[in-house]
Chains A and B, each alone.
Chain A
Amino acid sequence: MTCDEVKDRLDDYVDGTLGETELQDLELHLAACAACGEEERRLRSVVAQAAALPAEMSPPRDLWPGIADRIAAARARPAVRTLRRAWWSPAAGLAAAVVLALAATLARVWSPAAREGAAGAGVVQEAAWTTDPSLLAAEREYDRATAQLMAALDTRKAALPPETVAAVERDMTTIDAALRQVRTALQQDPGNPQLSHMLASTHQKKVDALQRVVRLSSQL
């Protein structure tokens, strides 16, 4: 075996993957050739250093807050996508318009009082204002995200200044009132893409506001 042939096979030799015949030839060469022997020693040194590198390295800063934020944002995101799909699909929009018009009429005829009473009651109320499954699914997603954030906020409420809690509650009341208005408008003009968009962005505002407070409270 020549020096060049040895150099080509040295990696396999050091890794223990060289075939039996070549192994013998190569070892015979190494025993006789100082230069190739030196080459082998240097190669083994790099391989040994690599295997001895520490398995763990601490990042220079805590990466957790960024991870927690992204997970919280991802939990809220599916709702936006669902709602966007709902108003960008013309066929679904048309079908929804027909169903909504029917539902609105039926609701008015059957139970105006029940509809009035349900206005501030979350899940019950969505059943009254639309039967479009996409819109209902989107609202459910938003409700779930909001409920999770509210629960997170509840556990930290004690740590927050009372005026902050009061301000958050005021904001939530305002946003809920806006949501009721948009739903009423959608009832009268079902399938209106601007109104659907407004509904989604109002929901998103609520989620964003809650996320901000939860994040702030976790930094206290």
Chain B
Amino acid sequence: MPISGGFAVFKPPPSRRHLILVLRTAVWNDRAGPFGGVIPLATDEFRRAEEWRLVRQAQAGDMAAFEELYRRNVGRVFALCIRLSGDGALAEELAQDVFVRAWERLGTFRGESAFSSWLHPLTVNVALSERRARRRRTARVMTTDDLTPFEKPARRSHGPEAGLDLEKALATLPPGARSVFVLHDVEGYRHQEIAELTGVAEGTSKAQLHRARRMLREALEA
């Protein structure tokens, strides 16, 4: 008699970041076609192979292939840049910096992950190091308490508008609190990873997140 019948196979719980990614992939797949999760899985593999072909062409100097990689990834990169910087014009510059940097480092991409996964930490680095550089350049002291009054939303909403309100409120957060919130709650990083990326202590990252969430609650309910 087989003994495995009643046993559940133990699997380690996925991290928050994975859950968010899975959720997003599921949403994307729903949009992709009428066949639920079966066909899209196949298209995922196809997309990956196609992407790897483009990367190799770009590595050989093919700008048209790199432009295609840009077109496929710019939305993700720009979203991260604008949320981390809180400034639309700056985010455009940062996104351009990311792709120029990606071009320079393309030789180091070996295809172990999706190209978008490779771009992600690069984007975070570009956005955060720009802020550090700007802080050094300007003698102006940007205290993290320098919080401009939030623009009051016309009405409270829970539909797609809620996202817009949150984006607006995000832009008004002090830079440190904003980047920790974006990395932790939007992108699903852990405090330890944020500490490594931003060079702050893990406790500081937790304190910034607490602060950001409190400010956002107040802003959204104002």
Identify the A interface with B (CB < 8 A): 11, 15-16, 42-43, 46-47, 49-61, 63-64, 66-68, 70-71, 74, 148
B167 near A71 with CB under 8 A, answer: no
Chain A residue nearest to B167 (CB atoms) is A53
Specify which chain A residues have a CB less than 8 angstroms from the CB of B186 in the assembled complex: 50-51, 53
B166 near A71 with CB under 8 A, answer: no
Specify which chain A residues have a CB less than 8 angstroms from the CB of B99 in the assembled complex: 63, 67
B95 near A56 with CB under 8 A, answer: no
B163 near A52 with CB under 8 A, answer: yes
Specify which chain A residues have a CB less than 8 angstroms from the CB of B181 in the assembled complex: 50
Cβ of B134 < 8 Å from any Cβ of A?
no
A47 near B185 with CB under 8 A, answer: yes
Cβ of B198 < 8 Å from any Cβ of A?
no
A54 near B163 with CB under 8 A, answer: yes
> Can you give 12 A-B contacts (C-beta < 8 A)?
A46-B185, A46-B217, A46-B220, A49-B162, A51-B185, A57-B75, A57-B82, A67-B99, A67-B100, A71-B63, A71-B103, A148-B61
A42 near B217 with CB under 8 A, answer: yes
The contact of A59 among B63, B95, B210, by CB within 8 Å, is B95
A68 near B63 with CB under 8 A, answer: yes
Residues 83-112 of B at the A interface (beta carbon under 8 Å): 83, 88, 91-92, 95-96, 99-100, 103-104
Cβ of B55 < 8 Å from any Cβ of A?
no
Cβ of B79 < 8 Å from any Cβ of A?
yes
Chain A residue nearest to B23 (CB atoms) is A51
Specify which chain B residues have a CB less than 8 angstroms from the CB of A68 in the assembled complex: 63, 67
Chain A residue nearest to B82 (CB atoms) is A57
Residues 175-191 of B at the A interface (beta carbon under 8 Å): 181, 185-186, 188
A55 near B16 with CB under 8 A, answer: no
* Minimum CB–CB distance for B100 against chain A, Å: 5
Specify which chain A residues have a CB less than 8 angstroms from the CB of B91 in the assembled complex: 59
* Minimum CB–CB distance for A33 against chain B, Å: 18
Specify which chain B residues have a CB less than 8 angstroms from the CB of A51 in the assembled complex: 20, 23, 185-186, 188
* Minimum CB–CB distance for A47 against chain B, Å: 6
Specify which chain B residues have a CB less than 8 angstroms from the CB of A63 in the assembled complex: 70, 74, 78, 92, 95-96, 99
B70 near A64 with CB under 8 A, answer: yes
The contact of A57 among B66, B79, B100, B217, by CB within 8 Å, is B79
The contact of A64 among B20, B67, B220, by CB within 8 Å, is B67
Specify which chain A residues have a CB less than 8 angstroms from the CB of B83 in the assembled complex: 53
Specify which chain A residues have a CB less than 8 angstroms from the CB of B53 in the assembled complex: none
Known: A46-B220, A61-B92. A55 touches B79 (CB 8 A): yes
The contact of A53 among B16, B166, B206, by CB within 8 Å, is B166
Specify which chain A residues have a CB less than 8 angstroms from the CB of B163 in the assembled complex: 49, 52-54
- What are the 7 A-B residue pairs with the smallest beta carbon separation, nearest first? A56-B75, A50-B185, A57-B79, A59-B78, A67-B99, A50-B186, A70-B100
Cβ of B213 < 8 Å from any Cβ of A?
yes
CA distance A54 to B88 in the complex (A): 16
Specify which chain B residues have a CB less than 8 angstroms from the CB of A46 in the assembled complex: 166, 185, 213, 216-217, 220
Contact with A along B48-75 (1 / 0, CB 8 A): 0000000000000101001100110011
Specify which chain B residues have a CB less than 8 angstroms from the CB of A16 in the assembled complex: 16
Specify which chain B residues have a CB less than 8 angstroms from the CB of A61 in the assembled complex: 92
Cβ of B18 < 8 Å from any Cβ of A?
no
B76 near A56 with CB under 8 A, answer: yes
Specify which chain B residues have a CB less than 8 angstroms from the CB of A53 in the assembled complex: 79, 83, 163, 166-167, 186
Chain B residue nearest to A58 (CB atoms) is B75
CA distance A29 to B163 in the complex (A): 31
